[in-house]
Amino acid sequence: MDWSTFLLALLPAVLASLYFWSSTFSRRKNFPPGPTGIPFFGNILSFGKQPPVTMLRWKEQFGDIYGLHVGRKPLVVLSDFNTIKKVFGDDAAAGREQSSPIRHDIATGAGSGLIFSQDDLWRTHRRFALSTLRDLGMGKNWLEDSIIAEVEGLCQTLRDTEQKPFDPKEQLTNSVSNVICALIFGQRFDLKDPKFTQLTTMLTTNIQNVDVEGLAEVMPFLMWFPNRVRDRVMTVRRNLRSLAVFFKDQVDEHARTKQRDEVVPDYLYAYQAEAENRSKTVAENTFDEPQLLSSLFDLFIAGSETTSTTTLWAFVYMIENPEVMWKVQAEIDQNIGRDRVLTNADRGLLPYTEATLLEIQRCASLVPLSVPHTTRSEMNIDGYIIPKDTVLLANLYSVHRDPRYWEKPEKFDPTRFLDEKEKLIRHEGFAPFSVGKRACLGESLAKMELFLFIANLLRSFNLRLPAGKTLSHEDYHASVVNCPNPFQLIFEPRT
């Protein structure tokens, strides 16, 4: 068969596929407008290296609500704060995608845990997580003491660099991860422990590679042979399994050493106690080991990567805006002094420092599209009919740059969070932890960590770039989490 005959034979199949593609979408009545997609691929090839920037441009073109497709899967992007708050407060929008090339089986946490579960499983375990974390110490002295101990250990590591260029990411991630380890495992790890460093590196690697998931979903044949997409997906899967082994070791250790105190010392003991109680009283007990391992992973990643990466963004913005750094340091020196560690009780005395932390979160927009939701039933969103199982994205990157809420949104300006009396003000349109029923359950812990880490680091060090180096907030890797590209700084002690 020659090529012309082959192409003629193939043509009917191509035309039929195109017809199926177009007819499938045309049956969706009153779906939001949006950019034109490519058959079979949808809009995924148009996202570029920084999808939030592309989506901001589409928002300016199509409005606050617009529709996309990843392959044949419909997505609706919400770009207005009030719309996001209304929609994400509705149970009908509280679903999660259950199919994933990465979390595809029990071993990799498919449909389980605190982030990717839904319906009664999610509601039950979110309630348990919220109450347990509150009882364990969110806002209590022992937890603050644990954070401060990690801050002081990190500061010592930075002093030991002796003002030589240093990439702080690894040690910073380990320090922050130790805080969540104290909560969920009741222990910390040495900052230079190679096994612990390997685990936190896996965590970072997964965050950086999860953006490939969409391509693997649209083109599943890429998983059939060696290529870059398959390699990245398989790396994430292997890391998930390795992390599961680490968590399983912690589970087994806790099971061997039953806690006898009336006060439960950590999340893992609390979960095991709840599982034992429910096994006696509940017919269908969802407090099983697969759900536990997935929940531990979700708590570990949410409690590690977000805070450490926000601190990296703080370094970037302080280098770009040294006058802000100097003003933060002056406020600390004047109101507290640089000779003692800052505590949570000092926050009220440092309004400009607090405003700077808020502005860092606004500009960084760390989780730019939040965690995708799905519709559990058909929804009407501002007159648009959104079918069941449609993915909903909250474009927080756009919200944090919306001129309706922010004057000169492109400018880094902490004073936007202060009134004329230098008191903190809360802006509508500020949602670094998302909003609604599935907002971040560790928000209070994250706020305390960000203050104690960033404020104490700025109290202790002047930040400088090595000679000949530059640093820009425009240089970052866009994924589920926006992370600055690797950089080195000189940490000059303020003594």
Nearest to 116 by CA among 401, 438, 385, 398: 438
Q: Which two tokens stand for residue 77?
A: 């992007």
Whether 25 maps to a domain, the answer reads no
Whether 101 maps to a domain, the answer reads yes
Nearest to 126 by CA among 113, 136, 139: 113
Question: Known binder of ligand: residue 483?
Answer: no
Could you write out the DSSP letters of every residue in 119-145?
HHHHHHHHHHHHHHHHHHTTTSHHHHH
d(CA 461, CA 22): 59
Q: Kindly provide the residue ranges of all beta strands, DSSP E only, lying in 258-412, ordered along the sequence.
A: 373-374, 379-381, 384-386, 391-394
Whether 13 maps to a domain, the answer reads no
Whether 35 maps to a domain, the answer reads no
Please say whether the dihedral angle defined by the alpha carbons of residues 227, 228, 233 and 238, taken in this order, is positive or negative: positive
User: Angle at the Cα of 318 (from 348 to 147), degrees rounded to 5?
Assistant: 50
Whether 24 maps to a domain, the answer reads no
All residues at 6 or more sequence positions from 143 whose CB lies less than 8 Å from its CB, including other chains: 136, 137, 179, 182, 183, 445, 448
Whether 471 maps to a domain, the answer reads yes
Q: Which ranges of 68-221 does DSSP label H, i.e. alpha helix?
A: 81-88, 119-136, 141-159, 169-184, 194-209, 213-218
All residues at 6 or more sequence positions from 224 whose CB lies less than 8 Å from its CB, including other chains: 230
Name the domain count of the chain: 1
Q: List Cα–Cα distances, 110 to 22, 83, 107, 223, 475, in angstroms.
A: 31, 29, 8, 18, 33
Whether 254 maps to a domain, the answer reads yes
Strand partners, 68: 75
Other C-beta atoms lying within 10 Å of the C-beta of residue 186: 17
For position 215, which CATH number holds?
1.10.630.10
Containing domain of residue 111, as a range?
48-493
pLDDT of the chain, 495 residues: tens digit per residue:
454 554 444 455 444 444 444 544 444 779 999 999 999 899 999 999 999 999 999 999 999 999 999 998 999 999 999 999 999 999 999 999 987 888 877 666 778 999 999 999 999 999 999 999 988 875 568 899 999 999 999 999 999 999 999 999 999 999 999 999 999 999 999 988 898 999 999 999 999 999 899 889 899 999 999 999 999 999 999 999 999 999 999 999 998 887 656 566 899 999 999 999 998 887 788 999 999 999 999 999 998 989 999 999 999 999 999 999 999 999 999 999 999 999 999 999 999 999 999 999 999 999 999 999 999 999 999 999 999 999 999 999 999 999 999 999 999 999 999 999 999 998 999 999 999 999 999 999 999 999 999 999 999 999 999 999 999 999 999 999 999 999 999 999 997
Q: List Cα–Cα distances, 226 to 221, 238, 242, in angstroms.
A: 11, 16, 22
In which order are the strands placed within the sheet that holds 65-70?
65-70, 73-78, 391-394, 373-374
The answer to whether the CB of 323 falls within 8 A of the CB of 317 is no
The answer to whether the CB of 299 falls within 8 A of the CB of 267 is yes
Whether 133 maps to a domain, the answer reads yes
